[in-house]
Structure 1
């Protein structure tokens, strides 16, 4: 199954709801009766946990962050800065949002509609001021004065209850300075791994899945590279310590078998985390190649094993990335959306994406800007979402090859074609004696004309120039109807011609189509 997910910036949406209902809580997030969330399998609520007071104070005075916040909100007020939702003080639902009861009420509404709830898990660090630093300082990466003097941006001094001064590390990845509102957890300590697994088990009782922030940072090779030569940790990290994810996921799924793990992951570590047990991993590479206009790279990426691809979470924006409307431009965004969301895997959408919002909202903010809707883009996404039904959910996916429309027609390589076909009952069971139906892109022998609703063809020109090609479509003896789900335009093509030559396409820059394909005799006028 290829599900869909909708990410909500929880505190920002709740702030907006409270303009008309001052008492609104998480239980009121779908005050429209669920219309905005209809059709999505998953709803991800960003930043529901208690955030650190000390971290919030950092957010409100750090000059570089303040400039970013003012770029988003020119009328920025101090109360608009709630602190990062990833600088967590405690994995308890914030009382400012209504607490655990309000979250449970919202989840119950989702369950009644057959939808699932996803929440955050931040494995790498805790928020500044977390009580563990006083109670269990060994849960964190500790340093010495030499490290703090050499890298004051990565360490801070604190005093333990017994009066002892220690230096602790801020959370970070190996390529950037530390996040000053966080404290780095020490995954070489088995006791810390046990505590984080217990937290996961507690979270799993309140939702159906977690999005794990920067999940690769706690993998042994990354963690060791980042921390092995620092301060008091030098002796600890010289040995090999056990990986966290495989055991933690195993224990959670032993209690909650259907619980879902989605990893934010980069650096070509997607496969590794899938093998550790993650159900979905971010597909940042596809996003980057689309953003860079690398059609050949996109095509090569989509030739990967389908078992791997089906576990990719595909997106055009999220809370970390710039808004798609600001990055791509309207027509390019439409093309990139078809290229992204008509592939296998989890289709990951972000609040404000459909409306064409252009300003990214930092996870530190609890208020967002007022932006006008892009009516054309909203209509496009409505049509796109309506097309993400069968056979794109459980059918078979084929990346089609393209052929030049004539000699020296180099533009053919700019066009991508995806074919989705319903799985016949005998193919789903795959008995040894069953004769599989021929796919309409299999040129070895003519295929049977598909029935209405059994076949979907997505085509997109990922370039800024006119492009032409032929796509293999092997239907003989029957005309085909191609009904465009994006424009409601209907075409009829001769099956014999397509069987011999393929489907001819002549596409404008960034033009895209999602065709329902069926035999002419299936058409209802």
Structure 2
């Protein structure tokens, strides 16, 4: 079964639930109807984004940051300081807050999800911690630091010096620690940077990951490529080295430590810069497919087809395919309804992990900063709702996501017709005598092509063809379709889902 990941903005969802019901909620109280809806839509994995607590110092930074305040004013006019919970990625502790009911409430929710065949996914942030984490004071040697002030550092209130950066071990030392950062952007001033060159820091982080794994079924690893040795070395070149250097890749050690006890534990990497394959080699199950997102945003049919056909089957099957997430603009703002439908069908019909974001299926248009714990209500967009209701309904009936899948290269419908260059053809092979073909025309005009007969399908006999959109059914001879291809004629941004089932006897 092709997995479907559902991202929930936990802090905002909790504010809404408590407001509607007029009482304090715990995770174990999650409304039954919402869990049932996930199950009915085929969700296999629920990611609770924002579970871990943020401390007071990080919250203060989030409330006072001038750029963030401008965004708050735009998306949540009249916001109050209590609406700003701080970044979920400035983690003060990997503990379940009492606001959500603590560890026991989370485990009870997990059990309810398991009863519906759904796994629980939580965040793991390997690159940095929040300023409020106690290890900043207790173990400053675990973080990138400097004996004096440098751009991107802060003066830390720490205990006795154990870092080798100065102080001679005589009482508290003046220490400057680096904020976490991506090498292409300014530092995140509510965080502190792990030193992945330190053996002790690695042990502490691996142990933390193992503890997190005891609470869930998988982790979405934030900016996973930042801790690769090659990336880390370039980012922090010229900074003082730790006293206890370590070799090898963090992810290889960390993933092995978890999988030695949980072989089926799921690892999902937020990853960019063409390093997705490297992370999969180190053990990740799935990696973000930002390349597909970018070509879908551009909307050029030949570019979309070319990108997908150039991917190896393994890379495509390990991709996390999305139209939005909390770091990207809302899909309803980026894609007009006709393009939205074609793009959504592409993402949802591909092999790999399909990824939907809270509010996406209702056409939410406000991209909310992750620091906010309250969002304004938005009315569902009927056109967008219809798109996703169609996808959920047809996918379940047509067997999309079950069996093996691969892309087909469109053939010209006739000589001199180039419109097939705009088509994406995805075939799901449930058995030798049954398969489903999803055809998507990404052009702003009608197009025609022929789909090659799938290599795994029986090449003879009579076949029943059912079209799941318009609802028509026909019978066709395999020999003709093998020789000529399956003829497709789609309107602008059109989608067609054809289910083929082999029958007995001659063609009627």
TM-score between both structures, scaled by the size of structure 2? 0.90
Structure 2: tracts of 5 or more residues without a match: 160-170
Q: Does 1:90 align with 2:93?
A: yes
Q: Does 1:316 align with 2:292?
A: no
The Cα offsets for residues 464-515 of structure 1, whole Å up to 9 and x where unpaired, read as: 222222222486653542322xx34215364365344323222222111222
Matches within 5 A, 1:103-182: 103-145=106-148, 148=150, 151=151, 154-161=152-159, 162-182=171-191
Q: What residue is the counterpart of 1:277 in the other structure?
A: 283
The Cα offsets for residues 321-367 of structure 1, whole Å up to 9 and x where unpaired, read as: 11111111111111011111211111111111111111112211111
Q: Does 1:329 align with 2:363?
A: no
Equivalent residues of 1:473, 1:499 under 8 A apart: yes
The Cα offsets for residues 216-247 of structure 1, whole Å up to 9 and x where unpaired, read as: 100000001000213x34x779x873210001
Q: Does 1:414 align with 2:422?
A: yes
- Matches of 1:241 and 1:398 in 2, distance apart? 39
The Cα offsets for residues 277-314 of structure 1, whole Å up to 9 and x where unpaired, read as: 11111111111111112434433443333233222111
Q: Does 1:457 align with 2:466?
A: no
The offset of 1:131, in angstroms, is 1.4
> Which shifted more, 386-395 or 214-223?
386-395
State the SS of the aligned residue for 1:289.
helix
Q: What residue is the counterpart of 2:233 in the other structure?
A: 224
- Matches of 2:394 and 2:379 in 1, distance apart? 26
Q: What residue is the counterpart of 1:482 in the other structure?
A: 466
Q: Does 1:35 align with 2:28?
A: no
Q: What residue is the counterpart of 1:444 in the other structure?
A: none
State the SS of the aligned residue for 2:436.
strand
Equivalent residues of 1:405, 1:469 under 8 A apart: yes
- Matches of 1:355 and 1:521 in 2, distance apart? 44
Equivalent residues of 2:57, 2:190 under 8 A apart: yes
- Segments ≥4 residues shifted beyond 4 Å: 474-477, 519-522
Q: Does 1:339 align with 2:319?
A: no
Structure 1: tracts of 5 or more residues without a match: 424-436, 438-449
Q: Does 1:503 align with 2:486?
A: yes
The Cα offsets for residues 366-400 of structure 1, whole Å up to 9 and x where unpaired, read as: 11121111223223212312344474334122311
Q: How many residues align?
A: 484
- Matches of 1:265 and 1:355 in 2, distance apart? 27
State the SS of the aligned residue for 1:118.
strand
Equivalent residues of 1:468, 1:507 under 8 A apart: yes
Q: What residue is the counterpart of 1:192 in the other structure?
A: 201
Q: Does 1:400 align with 2:408?
A: yes
Give the alignment partner of residue 255 of structure 1, picking from 245, 250, 261.
Answer: 261
Equivalent residues of 1:30, 1:36 under 8 A apart: no
The offset of 1:172, in angstroms, is 0.3
> Which shifted more, 97-106 or 376-385?
376-385
The offset of 1:83, in angstroms, is 0.4
Q: What residue is the counterpart of 2:163 in the other structure?
A: none
State the SS of the aligned residue for 1:309.
helix
Equivalent residues of 2:258, 2:265 under 8 A apart: yes
State the SS of the aligned residue for 1:92.
coil
State the SS of the aligned residue for 1:129.
coil
Q: For the aligned residues, what is the CA RMSD? A: 2.2
The Cα offsets for residues 143-178 of structure 1, whole Å up to 9 and x where unpaired, read as: 243x62xx2xx2112233444221111100111110
Equivalent residues of 2:11, 2:373 under 8 A apart: yes
- Matches of 2:421 and 2:386 in 1, distance apart? 29
- Matches of 1:414 and 1:399 in 2, distance apart? 14
- Matches of 1:166 and 1:13 in 2, distance apart? 39
- Matches of 1:521 and 1:28 in 2, distance apart? 52
Equivalent residues of 1:467, 1:507 under 8 A apart: yes
TM-score between both structures, scaled by the size of structure 1? 0.87
- Cα 1:479–1:216 change in 2 (3 A) is closer
Q: What residue is the counterpart of 1:472 in the other structure?
A: 452
Give the alignment partner of residue 242 of structure 1, picking from 225, 248, 264.
Answer: 248
Q: Does 1:183 align with 2:166?
A: no
State the SS of the aligned residue for 2:296.
helix
Q: What residue is the counterpart of 1:434 in the other structure?
A: none
Q: What residue is the counterpart of 1:426 in the other structure?
A: none
Q: Does 1:68 align with 2:48?
A: no
State the SS of the aligned residue for 1:510.
coil
Equivalent residues of 1:483, 1:517 under 8 A apart: no
The Cα offsets for residues 39-77 of structure 1, whole Å up to 9 and x where unpaired, read as: 211111111112121101000000101112222212322
- Matches of 1:346 and 1:205 in 2, distance apart? 23
Give the alignment partner of residue 289 of structure 1, picking from 271, 279, 295.
Answer: 295
Give the alignment partner of residue 349 of structure 1, picking from 356, 363, 370.
Answer: 356
